[in-house]
C-alpha cells in the first residue's frame, strides 16, 4: 500500500540478533554436515554465537521495546487456536508484531538453537565426550531446527502474501504499515 503510514516495529537489536542467529545457525548446520568435520573451529564458533544470540535476545524479550517483548507476542492456546482457525478460513487478522502462531515458532526456534549449542558444547567436554546418545540428540536437534526454519520461512511467505506486505524487508528496515481497520497493534 503505497503512501500508507509506516511505524517502527523491530528495533535495531531485534534485527541484528535475527540476522546473526540466521547466519550462525546456517553456518553451524552446513559446517556440521560437511564431512569429515574439518571445520570444527568454524562449527563451534558459529554454534556458540547462535547460543549467545538467543540468550541476549531472551534478555531483551523482558527489557526491550514494545514489539521485542515476549509478553507482547506470546499468546495463550485459545488465541493461537482461534488464529489458526481464522487462517484456515482465510480471515485471520493482521498483527503488527508477531502473530500468535509466529510467536510460538519464535520460542521453538530459540529453544532448539540453544539446545544445539548446549548439547554441542557438552559433547566437547571430558565429562560427556564420546557418548553416542548425546551425539544422536545433537543430530536430531539439527534436523528439528532445519524443519522449523522451513516452517518459519513458509510462515513468512504466507503472512506476507495474505497481508500484502514485505515482512522480510521489515526485518531489515524495522518499519511496517501502521495498524488499520481490524489489525491488531
Q: Which ranges of the chain would DSSP assign to H, the alpha helix?
A: 12-33, 40-63, 70-73, 77-88, 100-123, 132-162, 167-173
With cell 539446545, the residue in question is 115
In the complex, minimum distance from the CB of residue 131 to ligand HEM, in angstroms, rounded to a whole number? 9
Please say whether the beta carbons of 145 and 116 come within 8 A: yes
H-helix or E-strand spanning residue 94: none
In the complex, minimum distance from the CB of residue 82 to ligand HEM, in angstroms, rounded to a whole number? 18
Distance of CA 21 to the CA centre of its chain: 8
In the complex, minimum distance from the CB of residue 42 to ligand HEM, in angstroms, rounded to a whole number? 11
Residue closer to ligand HEM (CB basis): 104 or 121: 121
Footprint of ligand HEM (CB under 6 A): 14, 17-18, 21-22, 25-26, 28-29, 32-33, 37, 43-44, 47-48, 50, 57, 98, 102, 106, 109-110, 113, 116-117, 120-121, 123-124, 135, 138-139, 142, 145, 149, 152-153, 156, 167-168, 171
Residue closer to ligand HEM (CB basis): 44 or 82: 44
CB atoms within 10 A of CB 72: 17
Amino acid at each position: 500500500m503505497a503512501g500508507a503510514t509506516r511505524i517502527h516495529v523491530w528495533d535495531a537489536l531485534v534485527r541484528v540478533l535475527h540476522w546473526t542467529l540466521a547466519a550462525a545457525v546456517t553456518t553451524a548446520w552446513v559446517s556440521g554436515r560437511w564431512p569429515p568435520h574439518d571445520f570444527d573451529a568454524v562449527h563451534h564458533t558459529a554454534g556458540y554465537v547462535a547460543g549467545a544470540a538467543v540468550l541476549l535476545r531472551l534478555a531483551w524479550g523482558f527489557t526491550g521495546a514494545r514489539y521485542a517483548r515476549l509478553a507482547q507476542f506470546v499468546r495463550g492456546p485459545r488465541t493461537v487456536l482461534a488464529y489458526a482457525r481464522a487462517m484456515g478460513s482465510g480471515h485471520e487478522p493482521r498483527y503488527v508484531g508477531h502473530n500468535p502462531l509466529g510467536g510460538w515458532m519464535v520460542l521453538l526456534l530459540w529453544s532448539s538453537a540453544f539446545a544445539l549449542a548446549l548439547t554441542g558444547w557438552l559433547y566437547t567436554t571430558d565429562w560427556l565426550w564420546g557418548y553416542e546418545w548425546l551425539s544422536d540428540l545433537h543430530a536430531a536437534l539439527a534436523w528439528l531446527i532445519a524443519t522449523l526454519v522451513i516452517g518459519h520461512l513458509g510462515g513468512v511467505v504466507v503472512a506476507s502474501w495474505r497481508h500484502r506486505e514485505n515482512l522480510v524487508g521489515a526485518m531489515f528496515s524495522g518499519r511496517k504499515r501502521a495498524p488499520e481497520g481490524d489489525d491488531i497493534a
